[in-house]
Chain A
């Protein structure tokens, strides 16, 4: 159960961080008219097509004591980043980035441009327009982004294994734990954990689809 709690904590942190940094990135990708925008779009989508081990490998190298990130971290905090919970969060944020950013882009782009114009001629700058118009009208997208990045982080394996290793209570997440149990032929235990993950994932996805189909909403009806 320690592994499950760790996974939840990791997924929660990652989802929260991704919402905060995903919004400005998605805003820029949705509204910028810069011609080279496609380059950043490709970078954002990369984790979708790369094997987690590739991403994990580069993250590990960067975080290692001789990597740029590792050096910086040691200088700041006196200890390395690899095989720590912090390192795990960082790698997971990278890995789940598209799952947060893409729903946000889609919902920002779905907001009628004339509403933004209306906000501007009524005296609102872009920040106020974002808070008062774009964000409230993109709530389903925000919920989708948060839930998908949570669920995706919950289920990741390759990146965690590369960057975090397998330290009980620090980096041993549910997926690693299941792998461990299978390796030691404890199928009963593995099944119990796998089932928990399956149920949680199903519940989370049902929530996302229900919100997007407006079966019900987590905020007061419009």
Chain B
């Protein structure tokens, strides 16, 4: 794989720049789709490119590949391209695509499987904040069996570097005021609840492999 084949990187402001594929199309790799389908099935092979998924998707403006393009790339085995693309991470999992697909392709579920595969294969996420939020959330659940939002939010802000970004951009005032308001309005509980089955929950969550690029 050529370094920088996907030049979208971390820059969220840029539009669709992913114009080329990681492997030559003359050599489609059907094993990739088979490997993915084993975690599904998602019926990716049934896609006939009607683009209904893309037309109904609310977050295409933030994607580098459109949902139908991800499916196509999966079918022709463009492993690197899909595992590195921003689309699988900015997908909001709203399930509109899956709901509307005339061929019952489970598009949103496939996006999840691709994220999990990217993590397992050590592919860095082009959206480290999104990965950081998921991981902070699961680590938080692991501790007590339930999410404790009062520590979740600050932990995420610190670990993901979001606080520093907001500070630099001067965007922290609204968040700070909001945080204080929430506090005064009693929307942050002060005492977390720990469940009796905490161990069961932490065992369930301990199979998970942490993402490769730890947040800054």
The answer to whether A and B assemble together is no
B contact residues vs A (CB 8 Å cutoff): none
